[in-house]
Amino acid sequence: MEPTVAPARRGILRSLPPVVLVLGSISSTQIGAALAKDIFPIIGTHATVFLRVTSAALLLLAVARPRWRGEWRRHLGVVALFGTILAVMNFCFYSALARVPLAIAVTVEFTGPLGVAVAGSRRARDLVWVVLAAIGILLLSPIEAHDVDPIGIAYALGAGVCWAAYIIVGARMGRALEGGDALAVAMTIASVLLVPFGAAGVIHAGTAATIAIGCVVGLLSSALPYSLEVEALRRLPTRVFGVWMSLEPAIAAIAGFLMLGEHLGWHAVVALFLVTIASAGAAGWG
């Protein structure tokens, strides 16, 4: 699933420390999400999702240039399944963003990879991470004075389930296929599936500026972080990579605060902390 990377750019990436690559990937993803949330009021959530996925698909197609008779056709079933997961995951995540702060959406969504990490472990102490994550999610539940949209939480949980499926099916696709062809085709399938939900919004309300922002979102949320992560994984053990990725909810909180003016209550901050610790623990600490 590794896309073609220009030699010059690969040389630049190789000169950066692995930790910088991982933090750059996380930051890029969260900045892209914050930009996307900014154009929700203009073209709507679904149109933004469609723009993000379609721009990413076009970029990947331009880089990978998959051949019609390529190897991916022999594994079209798993590629199509991966594309469907991408479509549903993005739809759920952006629908969550429309209702809850960025950090909360990312924190709840992170239960997906946490679940995969724990499910693949036979260590009894990993139950501690499950308990910590569960407490964190309960703190975000819309009870008592907590002003959190339950539909937004449900969408974020749906995105988390899709993220878990993304990891499992993506690994299967990666073992079956090499190169960026499969990812480009899968992203194209995701874009087609989102046409009924978002194309009309782009056509009716999209301006040159919002379409440009949507394309930037696709670059920041897909192409750039994927390239950074691929290079980081070449030089970092998977478990160490997972520990660093567990910082994503915290960086999402910073991006939400700086770019969107989103302030979190004490319960959300504690929840973010608990899920981050649980994710880091499941990935390799302890």
Report pLDDT digits (tens) over 87-143.
Answer: 999 999 999 999 988 888 888 888 887 777 677 666 666 677 777 777 777 776 654
Residue 249 lies in a domain: yes
Q: 26 CB contacts (<8 Å, ≥6 apart)?
A: 225, 245, 247, 248, 251
Q: How many domains does the chain have?
A: 1
Residue 12 lies in a domain: no
pLDDT tens digits, one per residue of 136-178: 777 766 544 446 788 998 999 999 999 888 888 877 776 666 6
Residue 4 lies in a domain: no
Residue 6 lies in a domain: no
What band does 283 get if pLDDT is binned at 50, 70 and 90?
Answer: low
Residue 189 has pLDDT above 70, yes or no: yes
Residue 203 lies in a domain: yes
Residue 106 lies in a domain: yes
Question: Which residues span the domain enclosing 28?
Answer: 19-283
Residue 103 lies in a domain: yes
Return mean pLDDT, the chain: 79
Here the tokens at position 195 are: 């046409």
What is the rounded CA–CA span in Å between residue 194 and residue 91? 8
pLDDT tens digits, one per residue of 241-262: 766 777 788 888 888 888 888 8
Q: Does residue 131 contact residue 275 with C-beta atoms inside 8 Å?
A: no
Mean pLDDT (whole number) for 15-42: 86
> In this structure, which amino acid lies at residue 57?
A
